[in-house]
Amino acid sequence: MSRKPELRGRAARLARLFPAGRGNQAARTPFVLLVVLLLGGGLIGLLVLNSALSEGSFKLDDLQKKTKNLTDEEQALQRDIDAYSAPDALQRRARELGMVPGGDPVFLDPDGTVKGVPSPAALLGSAGDGTRPLAPEALGTPSAAGPSGTPAAPADAPTATASVPVTPDPAPTPVTTPTPTPGR
């Protein structure tokens, strides 16, 4: 009764392809273990990858906040620089330091002749604001120089005449503006 019917033809050929007996159950065990190990390893790998991505996301968020704070600080410092370098702020600070607007400049040629007509600087007290700049001698700076580049003499010292001849500029040099190059 335990005897199987004998197969013929095509069924017999197919039956020979499949292994017979209980060895079939033993061959499945390593395959099942391999599949379970691969699935478990994949899940652990996904967990580690997800943790690493979350940590990177937190670091990125912190760096973005730090960048925003530094950008805000940079903009505040740039506003301060712009406020301090504005012409009216520079003029106010110069007046606080006792500086006065300069007169017309003169230039020395290499041969020692003077070009231009010098004019004295305007005094602050003449504008009616009640302040007068201090003389360089009163400030106590040993390197205080007069308009000719020589050290200024004390107020009670006799003055000497300059040996450099002052000649007015015979003809002003015409100022030419560069012509724009086509295509630029």
Long-range contacts of 110-117 (CB under 8 A, 24+ apart): 112/164, 113/164, 113/165, 113/167, 114/164, 114/165, 114/166, 114/167, 115/169, 116/168, 116/169, 117/166, 117/168
- Give pLDDT tens digits along the chain (184 positions): 556 677 778 877 777 777 665 555 567 888 999 999 999 999 999 999 999 999 999 999 999 999 999 999 999 999 999 999 999 999 999 999 988 888 788 899 999 899 988 888 776 554 444 455 445 454 444 444 444 444 444 444 444 444 444 555 555 555 555 555 555 4
Task: Supply the pLDDT for residue 171.
Answer: 53
Nearest residue to 122 (alpha-carbon basis) of 130, 133, 114, 136: 133
Task: Supply the pLDDT for residue 38.
Answer: 97
Task: Supply the pLDDT for residue 157.
Answer: 44
Task: Supply the pLDDT for residue 37.
Answer: 96
| Length, in residues, of the chain | 184
| 134 contacts 98 by C-beta, under 8 angstroms | yes
* Type of residue at 99: M
Cα distance between residue 167 and residue 109, in whole Å? 12
- 99-146 pLDDT tens trace: 888 878 889 999 989 998 888 877 655 444 445 544 545 444 444 444
E strand or H helix at 83? helix 23-84
Task: Supply the pLDDT for residue 26.
Answer: 62
- The H helix count followed by the E strand count for the chain is 4, 2
